[in-house]
């Protein structure tokens, strides 16, 4: 079929324009480092975050399917110490923590337990004080931007983080508009086996110059848990030590 030269020229120009547009879209995808930098700026900036060396969170945790509400206190201390205590009505305190070398959990139903293997690695990594805010490259074997994705009703950048040590993979979603992290997807090793969870983060509020999400809705299988932070005390007087019930269980 004969195609006039003018039409061919127009087609070539259109094709070139289309390829140029596709290239521009591809180039518009920021690097993982750029996404993280925007997030850090959005929550207060590196200097404000580094000024904080400890914190204490007070929150409530709801498990709607069980009609259960618990009071929760989380304490963190740089570089990698943390304790979490959840007080369950009619049951008692469920406590977990790490001093950076040992990791443990204890509850009224199962008693004290020292974590080891991947559970221990994950507990210490989760306590990494700055990793969840600054996401320093040295804490991860790789961080990649998987591209745009819809999450929690927002347009986001989907970043894949692989931790050094445990090799745990966490997918984090950062709002294109605000830069804030609005959710995560991850797989963890627990005493009950491997569990997958999705967390939706919202209601950011500023405490001591740094913004924290004050609501976290976690979905694990058919269960949904809602944690609402009531207060955050930056640079709180925090001491993390091995509980008396755990000390005799630690191998010397």
Kindly write down the DSSP assignment for every residue of the chain, as one continuous string: ----HHHHHHHHHHHHHHHHHHHHHHHHSPPHHHHHHHHHHHHT-HHHHHH--EEEEEEEEEEGGGTEEEEEEEEEETTTEEEEEEEETTTEEEEEEE-SS-EEEEETTTEEEE--HHHHHHHHHHT-TTTTTT--GGGEEEEEEEEEEEETTEEEEEEEEEETTT--EEEEEEETTT--EEEEEEEEEETTEEEEEEEEEEEEEEETTEEEEEEEEEEETTEEEEEEEEEEEET--------TTTGGGS--
Write the pLDDT tens digit of every residue in 40-65. Answer: 999 999 999 999 999 999 999 998 88
Q: In the chain, what percentage of residues exceed pLDDT 90?
A: 72
Q: Is pLDDT at 21 greater than 80 in this prediction?
A: no
Nearest residue to 48 via CA among 241, 222, 207: 207
Q: What is the pLDDT of residue 90?
A: 85
Of the pLDDT bands very low, low, confident and very high (cuts 50, 70, 90), residue 222 is: confident
pLDDT at 5 > cutoff 50? no
Domains of the chain in start order, with CATH, are 28-128+136-246 (2.50.20.10)
Q: What is the pLDDT of residues 170-183, one digit of tens each?
A: 999 999 999 999 99
State the average pLDDT for the chain: 89
**What pLDDT score does 91 carry?**
86
The pLDDT score that the predictor gives to residue 18 is 61
68 alpha carbon, distance to own chain's centre: 24
pLDDT digit string, tens, across residues 144-173? 999 999 999 999 999 999 999 888 999 999
């Amino acid at each position: 079929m004969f195609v006039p030269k003018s039409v061919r020229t127009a087609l070539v120009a259109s094709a070139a324009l289309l390829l140029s547009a596709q290239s521009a879209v591809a180039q518009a995808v920021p690097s993982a480092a750029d996404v993280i930098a925007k997030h850090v700026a959005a929550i207060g900036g590196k200097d404000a975050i580094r000024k904080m060396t400890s914190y204490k969170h007070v929150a409530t945790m709801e498990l709607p399917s069980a009609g259960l509400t618990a009071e929760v206190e989380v304490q963190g201390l740089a570089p990698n110490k943390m304790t979490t205590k959840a007080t369950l009505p009619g049951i008692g305190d469920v406590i977990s923590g790490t001093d950076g070398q040992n990791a443990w959990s204890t509850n009224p139903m199962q008693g004290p337990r020292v974590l080891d293997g991947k559970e221990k690695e994950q507990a210490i990594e989760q306590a990494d004080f700055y990793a969840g805010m600054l996401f320093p490259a040295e804490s991860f074997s790789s961080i990649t931007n998987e591209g745009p994705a819809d999450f929690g009703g927002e347009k986001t950048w989907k970043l894949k983080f692989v931790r050094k040590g445990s090799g745990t993979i966490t997918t984090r979603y950062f709002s294109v508009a605000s830069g804030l992290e609005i959710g995560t997807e991850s797989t963890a090793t627990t005493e009950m086996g491997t569990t997958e969870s999705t967390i939706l983060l919202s209601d950011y509020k500023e405490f001591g110059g740094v913004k924290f999400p004050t609501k976290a809705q976690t979905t694990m299988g058919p269960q949904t848990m809602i944690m609402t932070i009531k207060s955050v005390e930056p640079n709180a007087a925090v001491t993390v030590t091995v509980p008396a019930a755990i000390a005799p269980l630690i191998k010397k």
